[in-house]
Structure 1
Amino acid sequence: MRRPLPLLLTALALALVGCEKKSAPAPAPSPATQGGSATAAPPGPPPEGTILIGEVGSLTGSEATFGISARNGIDLALQEANAAGGVRGQKLVVRVYDSQGRPEEGAQAATRLIAQDKVVALLGEAASSVSMAMADKAQAGKVPMITPTSTSPEVTKKGDYIFRVCFIDPFQGLVMAKFARENLKLNKVAVLTDNKSAFSVGLADVFNQKFKEFGGTIVGNESYSKGDTDFRAQLTSIKNMKPEAVFVPGYYTDVGIIARQAREVGLRVPLLGGDGWDSDKLYELGGSALEGSYFSNHYSPDNPDPVVQNFLKKYKAAYGSVPDSVAVLAYDAGRLLVDAMKRAPDTSGPALRDAIAATKDFPGVAGTINLDANRDAVKQAVVMKVEGGKAVFVTTVKP
């Protein structure tokens, strides 16, 4: 389990975006005054000689490890940029709001950052559903937005100011369908989807299509909704379908519980999934029930590439833990934004958008990034296996 800096945890409680209530107007979101963040901007106008960036993440709620990992990755990227002189002599500072993992909170935070704080760019969110809500505001305000980990194709379809540094669900779904057929030699797979998650539904749709195209059979589809805690009925139904594996493209918060309950009802086949599994919390929640399962991801800390190992060393020194893929991609997103700022003639929305869109062969920790015409990153994926209570690298799949 990662160890965020103690002061960071204390300050996260100050960063809650107000929930809308019918009886009264929603309170404005409060910026995070984070003691553990070297680049956090204090409330009010940014200091003279600085460039203000906005960040939105799930700093509290069920996916808090994602938001904290992203916060750490972005902060590390901006610290390095400032140590190297910033952008044309100006230091970079970031104002952070908590989405709580909720689309409505993400949209409110994006509105505040754009309309009141006057940020030059937005970084975040991890979840596709929250990023889509934010993207509407960023596109309308002509403020570039880069999401580190939102893999739904619908995110960048929101407009030409919206970018991502991760691969998209069609590629991730293809990777796991191909791996299931060609590497694991599976013939029959069932699918269990979170029907309230754009990420989960999108990944399930592609896996269903591609697994059948590769000659496999989908023996059935079951679904649940975010917040559910009892999956036994769906898992019992799946058990009766007699699959050789179950594809579960959910987030770690659900997958760990699903794994335990699958074993409880006698469903003992491997589980397969996507990058939403990537959190140390997964193994705490699922324990040995996850052994022998596989998921796609953006990077592996086992990669001997000096770029990866150098980042690991810096991250461990700062936060005392091995970074997950969210931290890595957030670091890449922050560095890519800084690179675009240096190439742009100024930090106006159109100029910065054009510079980001022109990104080619950017050396990210999670792989070289090329942005295509849809503003999506074209890059490799890795497949990981749960073994001995941790994720072990299996193979790399190139686009």
Structure 2
Amino acid sequence: MTRISRALAVATAASLALAACSTPNKSGGPNATASASAQQSAAAKGDGTLTIGDVLPQTGSLAFLGPPEFAGIHLAIKEINDAGGALGKPVVSIDTDSGDTTTNIASQSVDKLLAQKADAIIGAASSAVSKSIIDKITRAGVIQFSPANTSDEFTTIKDNGLYFRTAPPDKLQGRVLGDLVVSDGNDTIGILAMQDSYGTGLADQVTKTAEANGGQVVARADYDPKAADFSADVAKIKEKKPKAIVLIGFEETAKVVQELVKQGLTADKFKWYMVDGNMSNTNYAKDPKGTLAGVKGTIPGAAAPTAFQKRLLTVDSKLTNYTYAAESYDAAILIALAAEAAKSDAGVDIAAKLADVSKGGEKCTSYKACHELLKAGKDIDYDGVSGPVEFNDAGDPSVATIGIYQYGADNKYDAAKALEYRKGDIAG
């Protein structure tokens, strides 16, 4: 079944909910609240005003990703409304916090957004957080659109045709990182990965690629990110003395780094590699200068162009990190364009048009230009700041770019300058 037919099936299911007191969830258990049925009905019908909510990290282990993601959405909403809005009205934008997996903040935020008639919700940044809220969002007939989820699980997850993302699945980032590690001359590799869908999935792909290219993962520790101490995990890696150490995690990586240094596995003796979840210019600010010198890492997406960065600064003058800003911006633009193409703000109607506006029509690169083409009855192909997007049937971008970055002696990497970019086909 295609995503369009799955999305339309949701509309039918939502209308049936009007006559029922409960609806089944994935495990077959009841959802017996009248408010849930009311939210589902409202989302299925729409009210003529496109409302885009977001569930993104203001707090928690990925809080450093919040500012660029919020800025991307705010800039997009401003440009959409400056161009006349969507469906003849200004788009309504509502910000909420996602927290992380140690809290229930994301679920509470989703409840708030559904009560305020959100038609689409952008977020979460964390794959694990998104997994915790995807049922609640999609059961309500609302689109969930993440700018930063990279877990491979979302390609096949049950989503009623309502989950999309502008970030590529980790099978591409994992392939690029695994290839990079081996091509840098490392034939033995140790992996320290947080134990969740993001960490273990990415570690699996890095292992597969590295070993296919002649490398060997001689030690791997999948750790609890909430652990108070990582000494045993690091000791497991130290015992095998790998040439390269791959660090896959979030904010807790700062503590892992301190333990690596404590046990003598410093970046000047072993080659360290990081990923988008821990490539930060703030988490390692307190470490001695040179701690991360030469460390490489991968971040999905092309660098935010200089002109785009300047536009972002008009909505957040304090912005210093641009990771996933472009993907967040494109998510909001695509939702508005799909609403225009569908002539509806209902989530299921928008979902049925998202793939259409992302490929196969007349090229356009701004909301204003694309909007004018739609009003003229043209089929459009929006090429975004983050790339061509072009959704496949799973709601993933079919082609994506991975940037490779390197830390300097100041324990920072230049977010606007990559060592190189590698493009790949998601299905490859």
- The TM tier, using the shorter chain, reads 0.7 to 0.9
Distance of 2:348 and 2:301 partners within structure 1 = 32
Corresponding position of 1:37: none
Note the C-alpha offset of 1:221.
0.8
Q: Does 1:319 align with 2:316?
A: yes
Taking structure 2 as the reference length, what is the TM-score of the superposition? Answer: 0.75
Letter aligned with residue 336 of structure 1: L
What SS class does the counterpart of residue 288 from structure 1 fall into?
coil
Assess, with a 3 A threshold, how the Cα gap between structure 1 residues 164 and 299 changes in structure 2: closer, same or farther.
closer
1:105-184 matched pairs, under 5 angstroms:
105-114=105-114, 116-156=115-155, 157-159=157-159, 160-182=161-183, 184=184
Q: Post-superposition shift, 1:285?
A: 4.9
Distance 1:181 1:370 in 2: 31
Q: Is the 8 A contact 1:315 1:322 kept in 2?
A: no
Report if the CA contact (8 A) 1:188-1:218 is conserved: yes
1:355 to partner: Cα distance: 1.1
| Partner AA of 1:161 in structure 2 | L
The answer to whether the aligner puts 1:371 opposite 2:391 as a matched pair is yes
Quote the Cα distance in structure 2 between the aligned partners of 1:309 and 1:332. 16
Question: How far apart in 1 are the matches of 2:408 and 2:306?
Answer: 22
Residues in 2 aligned to 1:278 and 1:328: alpha-carbon distance in whole angstroms: 17
By relative contact order (CA 8 Å, sep 6+), the higher-ranking structure is: 2
Alignment pair present for 1:289 and 2:282 = no
Corresponding position: 1:391 with 2:413 = yes
Query: Residues 233-278 of structure 1, C-alpha deviation per residue, up to 9 Å, x if partnerless?
Result: 2222212211011111111x12223223212211121211211123
TM-superposed CA distance for 1:144, in Å, is 1.3
Aligned equivalents of 1:66 and 1:323: distance in 2? 8
Residues 139 and 158, structure 1, Cα contact 8 Å, conserved in 2: no
**What residue in structure 2 maps to residue 189 of structure 1?**
189
Give the superposed CA RMSD. Answer: 2.2
Change (3 A) 1:388 1:362: farther
Question: Partner letter of residue 408 of structure 2?
Answer: E
**Contact 2:189 2:246 (8 Å CA) reproduced:** yes
Post-superposition Cα deviations, 1:208-253, rounded to whole Å, max 9, x if no partner, equal 12211111100111122122343222222212211011111111x1
Identity, in percent, stands at 27
| Pairing 1:219-368 to 2, within 5 Å after superposition | 219-251=218-250, 253-268=251-266, 269-286=270-287, 288-299=290-301, 301=303, 308-320=305-317, 321-358=319-356, 359-360=358-359, 362-368=382-388
Distance 1:242 1:398, change over 3 A: same
1:290 maps to a residue whose letter is L
Distance (Å, rounded) in 2 between the aligned partners of 1:204 and 1:81? 39
Tell me, in whole angstroms, the C-alpha distance in 2 between the residues paired with 1:57 and 1:280.
19
Give unmatched runs, 5+ long, in structure 2: 1-46, 360-380
3-state DSSP class of the match of 2:51?
strand
Residue in structure 2 matched with residue 71 of structure 1 by the alignment: 70
Shift of 1:345: 2.3
Distance 1:357 1:107, change over 3 A: farther
Q: Could you tell me how far apart the structure 1 residues matched to 2:201 and 2:246 are?
A: 13
Q: Which residue of 2 aligns with 1:93?
A: 92
Contact residue 169 and residue 202 of structure 1 kept, 8 A:
yes
Q: Is the 8 A contact 2:330 2:386 kept in 1?
A: yes
* Deviation (angstroms), 1:174: 0.5
Q: What amino acid is the match of 1:315?
A: L
Question: Secondary structure of 2:193's match?
Answer: strand
